[in-house]
Amino acid sequence: MITDFLKTRVGLFQHLSEKHLADIVKGSKVVSYEPNEVVVHFGEEASFLGVLLEGELSVLALADDGSPREIAHFAAGGTFGEMA
């Protein structure tokens, strides 16, 4: 169950009541992405808090030579998007 995952694996949600967690889950949506699919483009306004339920997520930026460079990496339980 997602509420159990949030309570046990995501520090941000560990101190919330079951009711608050249930409300958060009810107002949320689960989205799946394919490998190498973009979640948010650089400069795009993001008004969400994402929680990685499974898999991994990399944040890439272009280096001076134009090649992609990983600047952050998230595993299951990681949060992202809140500062995008």
Which uninterrupted H or E stretch holds 18? helix 18-26
Cα–Cα distance for residue pair 34/29, rounded to 1 Å: 17
Q: What's the pLDDT score for residue 10?
A: 95
pLDDT, averaged in runs of 10, over the chain (84 residues): 94 94 95 92 84 94 93 94 64
SS3 content of the chain, % helix, strand, coil (to 5): 25, 25, 55
For the chain, which domains are there? 2-80 (2.60.120.10)
Q: What's the pLDDT score for residue 47?
A: 84
Assess contact for 68 and 62: CB atoms under 8 A. yes
